[in-house]
A and B are shown apart, each in its own frame.
Chain A
Amino acid sequence: MSERVVVDPITRIEGHLRIEAQMNGKQIESAYSAGTMVRGIEIIMRGRDPRDAWAFVQRICGVCTLVHGIASVRAVEDALNYEIPANAQLIRNLMIAAQYVHDHVMHFYHLHALDWVDVVSALQAEPKATSELAQSLSSWPKSSPGYFSDMKNKLKTFVEAGQLGIFAKAYWGHPAYKLPPEANLMAVSHYIEALEWQRDVVKLHAVFGGKNPHPMFLVGGTPNPIDLESDSAINANKLALVQSIIDKMRVFVDQVYVPDTIAVAGFYKDWFYRGEGLGNFLVYGDFPSAEEGSNLRDPMSWWIPPGAILDRNLDEVHEVDLRAGGEVQEFVSHSWYDYEGGKEQGLHPWEGETKFDYKGRGGPDTPYKQLNVEDGYSWLKSPRWKGKAMEVGPLARVLVLYAKGDEATRGLVDSTLSTLGADKRALFSTLGRTAARTLETKLIADKMQDWMDSLMANIKAGNTRTFNEKQWNPSSWPKEARGVGFMEAPRGGLAHYIVIKDEKIDNYQAVVPSTWNAGPRDGQNQPGAYEAALQDNHELEDPQQPVEILRTIHSFDPCIACAVHLTDEAGEEMLQVKIR
């Protein structure tokens, strides 16, 4: 029996993702990942002030609300060889790290957990037993029987009210749910707690960037000055708030997130052996050192260095050069775009070009039941590194850090694996990916204290500089310049490529983690990371309720608005349609 299972919309992600799975019995034979929304932001970027770019591209995504802003200012700074004050570098590191911790926790509880946690089953839980379970995992104070009893009552009333709201029509009771009621109740409670917690910890972004989502950035530094004597700058009060947030993050990660991950994983060990796929991993690198006057030219010195791992071989980490012509390329063989030099061509982002070609590439008219997977089937391009499909994200980072011998990483990974009774191979899986995310959250949360300490030391030493005015005025810029700004977004390596001409953006391209992961097949028919992962040992218990697909897709933490991007000359020909 050959059946096409379609999951659209994939919910609890960012953006518009559609998965089509060609079944062979209960087994997924081939999977197709499609981004179904396009905005054309890179067309919009053309001709604009490079200093403004961050705000535009930041709106690529409101979930990883910071990463595009950072990548963008770095791209401009790279193009202009712009030196950044140490404090700005530290503040950016803190903001990026806060984004990780916030985003990973929210992903785990609010986007991913319901793939593993049966909310309805939690109603059967025994509060006292739940409390015992929770207390066995950590010393988190909110683990009393009374607390869980309240939570259970709350949930019960909610469910019995008959209006399930966001929990309606889910796959409750599906046999793939393996957690006992008590674990479910604990997870649902932490779901609600995490909502409250995240509201508090994003205040770190508000301190440095004024607000979250979409904090403010600045080419050449950070906008908020440091002045202990001012009530309108980063002062002692605000620094104290930042410190308290870092503390709060670390406590929650250590006492809730990490124990919950390990606890849940313990019930789903079969997921350590499916859902990996490519076996190729790519890291761009992030967290630059923060010496005064440092720029972004030496990523090998960064805390997370760039590197590539091929065929699951942890013994060799390949060097990565984002500027090199033959390394990063984007293909459109199965995308709704066309290239000037033919659809099989691969283009380095600086030379990137694309044309909307929805109909020409077999895009069906809405409403449609099925995409034309033989031709174009996604608004995502297919990025490749040296021609290879690569997975990016927490797993890639943890593997590269591990392979490079980072002690903290090795210790944490090894101890976690041993707790779970798994070996290193388990990392290459759906659950391995999810676990890697949790572990890197802890690594990063711990690292935040170092950056905070350095920042405080600078301030104590009288260095409060946060902005370098030197190249602010566009008249100081070269006539033409190009740069790449890269970072590790929570979902993986993110690079923005900019070409500046006559003080304006001439070309802008983002090569985004979810494009690597969610992109379609290339001309060689190499699947993207999602596709490969779904084709890796996925049996659907019930094709009508494909929770297995959600588990693996969610393990990547999709961010599809990020992933869909394009550069285009045809943009000018577009009619501006307006209904009045």
Chain B
Amino acid sequence: MDDLTLSERLRQRGVSRRGFMKFCAATASMMALPPLMIPKIAAALEKARRPSVIWLSFQECTGCTESLTRSHAPTIEGLIFDHISLDYHHTLQAAAGDGAEHAREAAMKENWGKYILVVDGSIPLGEGGNYSAIAGISNLHMLKEVAEGAAAIVSVGTCAAFGGLPMAKPNPTGAVAVSDIIKDKPIVNVPGCPPIPTVITGVLAHFLTFGRLPELDHLHRPKVFFGQSIHDRCYRRPFYERGQFAETFDDEGARKGWCLFKLGCKGPTTYNACATAKWNQGTSWPVEAGHGCIGCSEPRFWDAGGFYQALSVPHTKVGETVLTAGAAGLAIGAAAAVLNRKRKAGAVENRETITVKDLSKES
């Protein structure tokens, strides 16, 4: 029974070959793979026993899970029924309490070394890790324990990937990212607050298809989704290039879809696929909805200055700084001026009258 392949399972469940290939094609296009790869994806998926996925939720808001449920290709139901075995996931799993913990332990035991560990949420190290516990076990401890048997770790969301909101200054609980703790496992970061659903599923699909993680950038993000900045792919980019900016919300520029740079858009420094993949099955995305990108997939974006301050504008109170500096300059300058006047007056006063007799050194 356990040895049934995916394609066999699908056929049993009345999923047509065509439907299956459609999914494979969607996966391929999402990951920017050539059509030639579709049969390979199909072959890989067909062979697979649904891999076990253990999803640990730490200091999180469940937004990442909510985002996952919005995935339309593959769908959440497709994913959990056909492609993965989601063996532990607080928000979705039926079992609770000991039952839930047993499910986790069983999945680990049965799939040791093979399961995928997905983490959302940061891990608090303050107060001995007591700031967050599940079943009486600290997040830190649980992460280490589950990571040990994982084939790979997917840090979903900016909290797990980079520390996220809990790590925002002053980081009250000493929150850290998964990669700050686990050093000996392949980790792929899927940041975003939350991440784009198809990006989460796309990474899982890539792993299922090829048995390895997609190519990652220096922040361990899959290049295929995080290789370009929002700004570079933004449909409003031409307005930026033309120097046409919305000056405030609901002004003429805003209505015409001009660039939101001046309203604080962090698109230029944000690497994510929002501008191309869009959200909610291509319905829209923040910039399309008239609000600048807040940079939610970038490390420490919470502390990167005000969301409504243009990237080129300092996020401190420049006016006050100028006044302070002006006052300081006037004070130092006044002191220097007094000194200069004194020196100058001294030089003029001490200046002796010169007669022709004083001109020659020899004289």
Contact = CB atoms under 8 A, between A and B. Distances in A.
Any A–B CB pair closer than 8 Å: yes
Interface of A: 6-16, 18, 36-41, 43-44, 49, 51-52, 55-56, 59-63, 65, 106, 110-111, 114, 119, 150, 153-154, 157-158, 160-171, 192, 195-196, 198-200, 202-203, 205-216, 218, 220-221, 223-227, 230-233, 241, 356, 358-359, 363-369, 465-467, 469, 472, 503, 544-546, 550, 561, 568, 571-572, 574-580
Contacts of B87: 163, 165-166, 168
A37 B59 contact: yes
Interface in B238-282: 248-250, 254-257, 274, 279-281
A364 B133 CA distance: 11
Given A44-B172, A545-B99, 16 more contacts: A8-B97, A9-B96, A12-B96, A37-B131, A39-B173, A49-B307, A51-B307, A63-B91, A157-B12, A170-B99, A206-B279, A213-B67, A367-B141, A469-B250, A574-B170, A577-B176
Interface string B57-99: 1111111111101111001110011001111011111111111
Contacts of B91: 11-14, 63, 111
Contacts of B175: 39
A49 B307 CA distance: 9
A429 B246 CA distance: 53
A223 B71 CA distance: 25
A227 B279 contact: no
A195 B74 CA distance: 13
B69 A199 contact: yes
B272 to A, nearest CB: 11
Interface residues of B, number: 113
A168 B126 CA distance: 33
B84 A165 contact: yes
B165 A59 contact: yes
B77 A196 contact: yes
Interface of B: 1-2, 4, 9, 12-14, 49-50, 52, 57-67, 69-72, 75-77, 80-81, 84-87, 89-103, 106-107, 124-139, 141, 164-166, 168-176, 180-181, 193-194, 235-236, 248-250, 254-257, 274, 279-281, 283-291, 294, 296, 302, 306-308, 317
A168 B109 CA distance: 14
Given A62-B64, A209-B289, A211-B286, A577 B137 contact: no
B94 A166 contact: yes
A166 B176 contact: no
Interface SS of chain A: helix, strand, loop or mixed? loop
Contacts of A230: 255-257
A236 to B, nearest CB: 14
Residue with the highest number of chain A CB atoms closer than 10 Å, among B50, B94, B236, B296? B94
16 contacts: A7-B97, A7-B98, A37-B139, A39-B165, A56-B168, A163-B50, A165-B80, A165-B81, A195-B69, A198-B69, A202-B280, A224-B289, A367-B136, A467-B250, A469-B250, A577-B125
A52 B306 contact: yes
Nearest first, the 6 A-B pairs at minimum CB distance are: A62-B63, A232-B257, A40-B172, A210-B289, A170-B94, A577-B174
B150 to A, nearest CB: 17
Given A52-B306, A580-B180, A157 B9 contact: yes
B288 A210 contact: yes
Given A44-B172, A232-B256, A51 B308 contact: yes
Contacts of B127: 356, 358-359
Contacts of A365: 128, 130
Nearest to B129: A366
Given A11-B93, A579-B176, A199 B280 contact: yes
Given A9-B100, A195-B76, A210 B138 contact: no
Contacts of A578: 125, 174, 176, 180
A212 B307 contact: no
Nearest to B15: A154
B90 A169 contact: no
Residue with the highest number of chain B CB atoms closer than 10 Å, among A55, A165, A203? A165
B107 to A, nearest CB: 8
Nearest to A570: B172
Contacts of B70: 198-199, 202, 212-213
A158 B58 CA distance: 29
Contacts of B100: 9, 11, 169
Contacts of A369: 136
Given A39-B166, A40-B173, A154-B81, A11 B96 contact: yes
Nearest to B280: A206
B66 A65 contact: yes
Contacts of B289: 206-211, 215-216, 223-224
A170 B69 CA distance: 21
B283 A8 contact: no
B286 A216 contact: yes
A187 to B, nearest CB: 13
A233 B236 CA distance: 12
Residue with the highest number of chain A CB atoms closer than 10 Å, among B101, B281, B307? B307
